[in-house]
Chain A
Amino acid sequence: MKRKSNFCIFIVLSILLCTTHLIFNTGCSSGQARSKLFKDIENSLDQRDYQTAISKITAAKDDYYSARDRVLYYIDLGMLYHYSGDFEKSNEYLTEAEYAIEELFTRSVSRAATSLLLNDNVLEYTGEDYEDIYTNIIKAINFLNLEQFDNAFVEIRRINDKLNILEDKYKELADSFQQSEEAEIEFETGTNEYYNSVLGRYLSLLIYRTEGRLDAAKIDYNSIVEGWRGQSHIYNFPKPDISSHLNITNNAKLNIIALVGKPPVKKPFERRISTYEGYLIVSGNEPCEFVHTIYWPGLSKDYHFKFSLPFMERRDTEVERVRVVVDERIVGELDFLEDLGNIAIETFAVKAPVIYFRSVVRSLVKGIAAERAKSEMKSRTNPLVGALLGISTDIAVDLSEQADTRASRFLPGKTMVGEIDLEPGIYNIRIEYLNQYGQILFRDEFPQKQVRKGELNLVNTFYLN
């Protein structure tokens, strides 16, 4: 009798311990302090104070990034170095991120069957596919700035490789989860409709054109056009006219790549589970009305649990237009080429069923186990202690079912591009970011820019608001 009571207390303490660990060790700091830190870094970036931004991230490594979040640390730091113009350092950290993503995903597949009952928050963050793809995009841009075209091409090919296997990799993960003893229900992953990175193709076009390989550049141009035809849900904004990029003139070409806005975020939305004899119903109201019945043979009725699921949400930018000023003369405007929010939503949808399936199974198994333990505690311990431990268990179970909303913070929301024909020479270039009212939000200056014929004259600019 005494042994059983002790065991029940052990259960409650275990859940409490796990939850405490989850709250205090996944970042070790309060949400408010984290928000303040990243707001401070964003402010430093706005002021182009890169060293402060970078030192804040590196100083926060131990307090705000746990070992499980190393992918995020590498991406965040790699992006800050990119913005600072230290392209080699940026590549170094983004490569670390890419290798970590590859390694951790492989590990997550191999551990899938045994980790089905673990909350995503306590698992290592394996990176989202849009983050994985954008490590290559940013590295390709870095290599272009370092004038290492072959290395830039490697990154562009890696994007294509990743897109080719994107759907398969989650099928594999789903299969592994379904090998778990707890996996009573079957499910399928989403289908991937993102198979062609227009921004990747655009970078490729620039390289081929610069190398004088116009046939290859034309193939990339056609793939860009195809992006709007075959992936209209991702490229759901007017297609920029870049046909002039293929024209060879006596002038030099100035190419501008602008990264604007903030990256998408994951927001948690609550789901409720109600059990009935042999089935359960999962329901929720946000982001839209949701009801899903799952048949689960042998299930007992009258259990009610809740959990939360992450949903990808894009963030708008205040930037409406970006114009290019050369020697105090407005010479053109940039066009939107890619919206990372759309890509994030599309690629996240492929793995969303895996997250949903795991959350349902985990909530159900953990919730029922806790309910049983609570009953046992109430019957075998002091009623007051039992009631208090029961309340604590409920809170702990709810907290341990928080959605995993981890995501990198310094990727851009959108990419804009443009090309200006200029006589070879030296120019003062200014990029002006304007809002919908035509007010200038930010001016990015590039004084004394040398523009040469037959070379890739690239201007990188960003405004992340």
Chain B
Amino acid sequence: MKKNSQVKALVTKPTLFTILLLLFVVFMGVIGCAPARSVQRISADETEDLSGRWNETDSRLVAEEMINDVLSRFWLDNFVSNQNRQPVVLVGTVRNLSSEHIDTATFIRNMERELINSGMVRFVAGGDARVEIREERTDQQVHAREETAARLAAETGADFMLQGGIRTIIDAIEGRQIKFYQVDLELVNMETNERVWIGNKEIRKLITRSRTRF
């Protein structure tokens, strides 16, 4: 026998207490609780991990760490000493290869911000922003005064492109779930396809389900 507990008492000689207890439990389940909503303002820097999913804090911290890493490696010094100028970097695609709908646009935006603010590289727009700018520039050729229209074919070409992906592995046992996020980025020389930097950042999140006893 596993336990010699209340149930035996209830099954053999139920007391008023156990019956009352039983009814209370049944009632609590039937009645349920109406969810009360309250709103509390929190700082944008404050970390609130509600669901265990990838969130804005993860995006910001990973972007900061990875950009710090890429800017501290030898490729940058090598380029500056060889070319006598700062490299021009373009952030390409970061593919979501995980099992969560991660907003990679936010992550890319965070990396772009870190790159620009570092002052160590020059940065050119890519993706949809570049398409929109090109459309506007083409439009200017027709509609803007000649002396004010932006020149065609005068873009700054990128020397390097940063691209990568985010993956997840989930493991769960006995009420505990570990989410393992892996962000892989690489910086590729646009002219030679040479990979000059490969970075990797891992985040582990342990999600524990609480258990209560009556």
Contacts and interface: CB of A to CB of B under 8 A. Distances in A.
Interface of A: 7, 11, 14-15, 18, 21-22, 67-68, 106, 109-115, 117-118, 122-123, 150-151, 153-154, 157-158, 160-161, 164-165, 168-169, 171-172, 175-176, 178-186, 296-300, 361, 364-366, 368-369, 372-373
A109 B211 contact: yes
Contact of A368 (B3, B11, B214): B11
Contacts of A111: 212
B170 A150 contact: no
B213 A113 contact: yes
B15 to A, nearest CB: 10
A22 B11 contact: no
B26 A117 contact: yes
Nearest to B5: A181
A14 B27 contact: yes
B1 A165 contact: no
A372 B101 CA distance: 55
Interface stretch (B17-25, B56-64, B125-133, B182-190): B17-25
Contacts of B170: 161, 164-165
Contacts of B29: 115, 118, 122-123
A14 B8 contact: no
Contacts of A183: 2-3, 7
B41 interface: no
Contacts of B99: 154, 157-158, 160-161
Contacts of A180: 214
Closest 5 CB pairs of A and B: A157-B99, A118-B29, A114-B214, A298-B8, A182-B7
Contacts of A168: 172-174
Interface stretch (B69-77, B90-98, B112-120, B151-159): B90-98
Interface SS of B by simple majority: mixed
A465 B172 CA distance: 39
Contacts of A117: 22, 25-26
A154 to B, nearest CB: 5
Contacts of B168: 157
B209 A110 contact: yes
Residue among A171, A372, A373 facing the most chain B CB atoms (10 A cut-off) = A372
19 contacts: A14-B26, A18-B27, A109-B211, A110-B209, A110-B210, A110-B211, A113-B212, A118-B30, A150-B97, A165-B170, A171-B174, A176-B175, A180-B214, A181-B7, A183-B7, A368-B10, A369-B14, A369-B19, A372-B14
B16 interface: yes
Given A154-B96, A165-B170, A184-B8, 13 more contacts: A21-B30, A22-B30, A109-B175, A110-B209, A118-B25, A123-B29, A154-B101, A157-B99, A165-B177, A182-B6, A186-B2, A297-B4, A298-B4
Nearest to A150: B96
Nearest to A102: B51
Contacts of B8: 184, 297-298
Given A298-B12, A365-B11, A368-B11, A118 B210 contact: no
